[in-house]
Structure 1
Amino acid sequence: MDAQESKKIIIFDDDEDILSICTYILAERGWEVFTYTDCNAITERVSSIQPSVILMDNWIPDAGGIIATQTLKSTDELKDIPVIYFSANSDIQLLADHAGAQSYLAKPFDLDELEGVINNVLAKAS
């Protein structure tokens, strides 16, 4: 990665293990990682960080991933930030579509899948 501004990613997930694994992996690959275990004050949090991409869990307190994603997508200055929806729910694709997410990742996932889906949404966004 070149010396310009670092790539920023926010992960919303109430599972501390997933947060720590994803943070470790993504930081190793040059990402600046921000994590939250709830989606409260989501527009303020995302506005202050301005990430390149967001990973959103389905079962996140308090509002849940669908409402949180829809909130971001209805906010003009945040609606173009790609959201990757991730969940162990078997209906992940339907949930992601309903939320308005750009992509989705089923849990459990491997690290190549994580990286692949992030790279795909960034390529589409640019």
Structure 2
Amino acid sequence: MNENSAIKTSKKVFIFDDNLEILELCTEILEDLGCQVNTSATTNNVEKQVQDILPDLIFMDNWVPDISGIEATRLLKSNENLKHIPVVYFSANININQLAEQAGADDFIAKPFDINKFEEMVEKYIGG
């Protein structure tokens, strides 16, 4: 990746997923794009977790321990201080588009995902 396509300022991305391999892969991709990455394997106190970081973008898995991705996304989208943060629903479910809509997410990407599509999704929401 050349410097022109890298995200200029250090944008913060928060990933909620209980699959450590996915977290590691996504962290590597996002750091290559110049992002600061925070991850959580649980949606416990999701609003506080997000409030503490105030990310520029959130990736939310459907199957996360504590409360579901749908419930967690709804909590974030109903919070006045957090609802402006784009949430990309991120799951291997066949009906991911319906789940994302149900959750009130801004977008979705199906797992397993193509790395280029993942990078394009990041650029779409926080690109330079």
Alignment deviations for residues 56-112 of structure 1 (CA, whole Å, 9 cap, x no partner): 000001111000000000100000100000110000000000000000000000111
Question: So what's the TM-score if we normalise by structure 2?
Answer: 0.90
Distance 1:27 1:119 in 2: 13
Q: After superposition, where does 1:34-113 map in structure 2 within 5 Å?
A: 34-113=38-117
Distance 1:102 1:32 in 2: 21
Q: 1:12 corresponds to which residue?
A: 16
Q: After superposition, where does 1:108-119 map in structure 2 within 5 Å?
A: 108-119=112-123
- Give the drift of 1:117: 1.5
Indicate the structure whose relative CO is greater, using CA pairs within 8 Å and at least 6 residues apart.
2
Identify unmatched segments of 5+ residues in structure 1: none
Q: Give the % identical residues.
A: 46
Identify unmatched segments of 5+ residues in structure 2: 1-6
- Give the drift of 1:28: 1.2
Question: So what's the TM-score if we normalise by structure 1?
Answer: 0.92
Letter in 1 for 2:100: A
2:32 matches 1:31: no
CA RMSD of aligned residues (A): 1.2
